[in-house]
Chains A and B, each alone.
Chain A
Amino acid sequence: MSIAEEYTETPADSRLKRSLTYLWQRRRAYLLIAPVTLFLCSVIAYPIFETFRLSLYESPADSNIETYVGLQHYVEIFNSDIFYQLLSQTGRWVVVGVAGKALLGLLIAVHLNQDIRGRKFFRTAFLIPWGIPYAISAVVFRWIEHPQYGYLNAVLLELGIIDQGIGILGNPNIAWIGVVVADIWIGTPFMAIIFLAGLQSIPQELYEAAAIDGAEKWQQFRYITLPQLKPVILIATLLSTIWTFVSFDTIWTMTGGGPINTTSTLVIWIYQVGLKNGNLGEGAAYSVLGFVFLFVFAIIYLRIYTSGGEEL
């Protein structure tokens, strides 16, 4: 006799009983998703909760003493100049980075989506920058942009564009460009491959019909390719926006956020304040602000992912 059957049957009990029976019948299904659920709860959900809690405390990383300070960190952040500087730098970083990756990716994809020899070779070669450690790409770009020994200076001198070496990463006005170029280089392959997949799913008949109607190549691109590719462009751009927003390794390896914080973004600052300077509480408060941004992106992403599914 099961536990549920020992109860006298009232409507409420029978509902409970039905629920228990339901869970029992599907116990294997639930048992199999339990490890992932438990794991993600302890490694992701709990740290999220912990971040919110910490943001209300003064908590030095090198001691166990935590002092409750309420919303003080947030008040200080909103009253600081650096926060607004970080916002504008993060915005610039994301907009320029994502635009660069999308345009270059589209250019590569359109040319890869042709009936040519060696397509597989080109595709593999274009993919490689995406697959290597960001920290390694970052040191290589640091080397290329080196003020004295760098290849960039050598090329520019050779071409006669400059007559004396320039130090990009040490110059507060242009250092961010030096970093964003590396980031575009890293992120372009993803865009190119996703766009290529999107291009390949466009029915060929559309182009044939357009060609019969006398549409030029550019018109075909403008009126067939772009509209057909729109859902893919939307998803890829959104994902890229999220990844660019949170990218850490590249900036940290190239400049550490300097010179004078000009290459810093919101997430670089989380690390700088929370872990480098050892002020977990304030770092957590910056993290919470980072969550807010990600949350907005996540909602947009999920809406497109779940509702627009049929179109993709």
Chain B
Amino acid sequence: MTMAGHDQAGLRKVRIYGVLIALLGLMMFPFYAMFSSTLKSESEIFSSPATLVPTDPSIGAYVSVWTQTDVVLWIANSFLISIGTVVLTLLLAIPAAYSCARNEFVGKRVFLLGVLVVQMFAPVVLIVGLFDVITSFGLFNSYLAVIIPAAAFTLPFNVWMLYGYFKTIPVSLEEAARIDGASQLQILTKVVLPLTKPALVASITYTFLYAWNRLLFVLTFLTDASKYNIPRGVFSMVGALQTDWRMMLTVSVIGILPLLILFAFLEEYIVSGMTAGAVKE
């Protein structure tokens, strides 16, 4: 390669990095604004114009947020709602996806497409009818009022994701287990599901995130403040006249911490899940 070629390739790299770093800076700026504000003092946060770098950073807000807000309760509720949704979704989705992957039967196509259509009926368009149904079932103000709709709207992704994955597992493995005397349930739990791990991780992550992030259901179906999740808790801190921005942003940072940890470990599964959800392989 000539010197000019080297220079050109180097220049291209610089340009790519330049664009990526600029775009990343743009995407990360809100996180910086959020985090740096939580390190400011109560007086500095209300200085105008805003200081871009805290003049005297302190973690005071993180200390007082434990006593002054219900952040611990909200986090606990978020976990409860997310885990509940994951369990309910998987209990429903695994048998259905397995059945569709292993059997040919009349109505299978209708079932699978019907499930897909559910994804189109976004929660908010359905919220009035859902409100009527939740109240008449007597579920209003219970965790189930949030878990059930969340499970319904995560089912399409889960059924399709697992259906696609089950199909890739060779039937011969199951037959071998059957000859060894394993029951149908044993085959599913001991042979099939362990092999389905990547799809299960993607499913669980997607469902967990969905339930963790949703404001709408909690806003509509839970009036009891002791059952708020993180988004609802943050929303409740937006005051009509006055908002304690420092506390609210601190709660926000704490509220996204579990997700950042999840992202760091499961990035590949999240990406494969997102891709599989939208684009058929």
Q: Tell whether, in the assembled complex, residue B126 and residue A51 are in contact, meaning their CB atoms are under 8 Å apart.
A: yes
Q: Tell whether, in the assembled complex, residue B279 and residue A32 are in contact, meaning their CB atoms are under 8 Å apart.
A: no
Given A194-B274, A198-B279, A267-B124, does the pair A36, B30 have CB atoms closer than 8 Å? no
Q: Which partner residue on chain B sits nearest A256 by CB separation?
A: B238
User: Which chain B residues border A158 with CB–CB below 8 Å?
Assistant: 52
Identify which of A33, A111, A143, A150 gathers the most chain B CB atoms within 10 Å of its CB: A33
Cβ contacts B244-281/A at 8 Å (1 or 0 each): 01001100100110011011100100110011001111
User: Which chain A residues border B281 with CB–CB below 8 Å?
Assistant: 312
Whole-angstrom CA separation of A270 from B62 in the bound complex:
38
Given A47-B130, A153-B50, does the pair A127, B256 have CB atoms closer than 8 Å? no
Whole-angstrom CA separation of A196 from B269 in the bound complex:
15
**Interfacial residues of chain A within 1-51, with CB under 8 A of chain B in the complex:** 22, 26, 28-33, 35-37, 39-40, 42-44, 46-51
Whole-angstrom CA separation of A143 from B263 in the bound complex:
25
Whole-angstrom CA separation of A283 from B152 in the bound complex:
22
User: Which chain A residues border B241 with CB–CB below 8 Å?
Assistant: none
Identify which of B128, B132, B148, B259 gathers the most chain A CB atoms within 10 Å of its CB: B128
Whole-angstrom CA separation of A78 from B257 in the bound complex:
46
Q: Which partner residue on chain B sits nearest A249 by CB separation?
A: B215
Whole-angstrom CA separation of A107 from B122 in the bound complex:
28
User: Which chain A residues border B231 with CB–CB below 8 Å?
Assistant: 133-136, 249
Q: Which partner residue on chain A sits nearest B103 by CB separation?
A: A29
Q: Tell whether, in the assembled complex, residue B51 and residue A36 are in contact, meaning their CB atoms are under 8 Å apart.
A: no
Instruction: Report if B173 contacts A (CB, 8 A).
Output: no
Instruction: Report if A211 contacts B (CB, 8 A).
Output: no
Whole-angstrom CA separation of A309 from B275 in the bound complex:
14
Instruction: Report if B17 contacts A (CB, 8 A).
Output: yes
- A238 to B: closest C-beta gap in Å: 9
Q: Tell whether, in the assembled complex, residue A116 and residue B16 are in contact, meaning their CB atoms are under 8 Å apart.
A: yes
- B251 to A: closest C-beta gap in Å: 9
Query: What DSSP secondary structure best describes chain B's contact surface?
Result: helix
Whole-angstrom CA separation of A146 from B33 in the bound complex:
12
Instruction: Report if B191 contacts A (CB, 8 A).
Output: no
Q: Tell whether, in the assembled complex, residue B96 and residue A252 are in contact, meaning their CB atoms are under 8 Å apart.
A: no
Instruction: Report if A129 contacts B (CB, 8 A).
Output: yes
Q: Which partner residue on chain B sits nearest A153 by CB separation?
A: B49
Given A54-B129, A141-B30, does the pair A30, B105 have CB atoms closer than 8 Å? yes
Q: Tell whether, in the assembled complex, residue B213 and residue A252 are in contact, meaning their CB atoms are under 8 Å apart.
A: no
**Interfacial residues of chain B within 8-58, with CB under 8 A of chain A in the complex:** 13, 16-17, 19-20, 23-24, 27-31, 33-34, 37, 45-52
Cβ contacts B202-223/A at 8 Å (1 or 0 each): 0000000100111110011000
Q: Tell whether, in the assembled complex, residue B234 and residue A136 are in contact, meaning their CB atoms are under 8 Å apart.
A: yes
User: Which chain A residues border B47 with CB–CB below 8 Å?
Assistant: 149
Partner of B131, one of A39, A107, A135, A275: A275
Q: Tell whether, in the assembled complex, residue A114 and residue B51 are in contact, meaning their CB atoms are under 8 Å apart.
A: no
Q: Tell whether, in the assembled complex, residue A140 and residue B279 are in contact, meaning their CB atoms are under 8 Å apart.
A: no
**Interfacial residues of chain A within 288-312, with CB under 8 A of chain B in the complex:** 290-291, 294-295, 297-298, 301-302, 305-306, 309, 312
Q: Which partner residue on chain A sits nearest B19 by CB separation?
A: A111
Q: Which partner residue on chain A sits nearest B51 by CB separation?
A: A154
Given A26-B103, A40-B115, A270-B125, does the pair A134, B213 have CB atoms closer than 8 Å? yes
User: Which chain B residues border A243 with CB–CB below 8 Å?
Assistant: 122
Q: Which partner residue on chain A sits nearest B93 by CB separation?
A: A36
Q: Tell whether, in the assembled complex, residue B128 and residue A284 are in contact, meaning their CB atoms are under 8 Å apart.
A: yes
Partner of B271, one of A142, A143, A193, A267: A193
Q: Tell whether, in the assembled complex, residue A151 and residue B50 are in contact, meaning their CB atoms are under 8 Å apart.
A: yes
Q: Tell whether, in the assembled complex, residue A120 and residue B96 are in contact, meaning their CB atoms are under 8 Å apart.
A: no
User: Which chain B residues border A190 with CB–CB below 8 Å?
Assistant: 274, 278
User: Which chain A residues border B102 with CB–CB below 8 Å?
Assistant: 29
Q: Tell whether, in the assembled complex, residue A127 and residue B270 are in contact, meaning their CB atoms are under 8 Å apart.
A: yes
Instruction: Report if A206 contacts B (CB, 8 A).
Output: no
Whole-angstrom CA separation of A54 from B232 in the bound complex:
28
Q: Which partner residue on chain A sits nearest B136 by CB separation?
A: A50
Q: Which partner residue on chain A sits nearest B111 by CB separation?
A: A33
Q: Tell whether, in the assembled complex, residue A232 and residue B279 are in contact, meaning their CB atoms are under 8 Å apart.
A: yes
Partner of A124, one of B49, B121, B220, B264: B264
Q: Tell whether, in the assembled complex, residue A126 and residue B19 are in contact, meaning their CB atoms are under 8 Å apart.
A: no
Whole-angstrom CA separation of A168 from B172 in the bound complex:
63
Instruction: Report if B100 contacts A (CB, 8 A).
Output: yes
Q: Tell whether, in the assembled complex, residue A305 and residue B28 are in contact, meaning their CB atoms are under 8 Å apart.
A: no
Q: Tell whether, in the assembled complex, residue B215 and residue A253 are in contact, meaning their CB atoms are under 8 Å apart.
A: yes
Instruction: Report if A128 contacts B (CB, 8 A).
Output: yes
Q: Which partner residue on chain A sits nearest B233 by CB separation?
A: A135
Q: Tell whether, in the assembled complex, residue B128 and residue A43 are in contact, meaning their CB atoms are under 8 Å apart.
A: no
Which 10 residue pairs are nearest across A and B when measured between Cβ atoms?
A: A47-B129, A32-B99, A51-B129, A246-B122, A135-B231, A29-B103, A298-B120, A133-B213, A50-B129, A43-B152
List 18 A-B pairs, Cβ < 8 Å. A29-B99, A32-B95, A32-B99, A39-B155, A104-B23, A108-B23, A116-B13, A122-B20, A124-B267, A132-B259, A139-B249, A149-B45, A154-B52, A194-B279, A236-B279, A253-B235, A287-B127, A306-B113
Known contacts A39-B152, A124-B263, A146-B245, then 10 further A-B pairs from the complex at CB < 8 Å, ordered by chain A residue: A35-B92, A36-B95, A43-B151, A141-B30, A144-B29, A149-B45, A149-B245, A158-B52, A287-B127, A290-B125
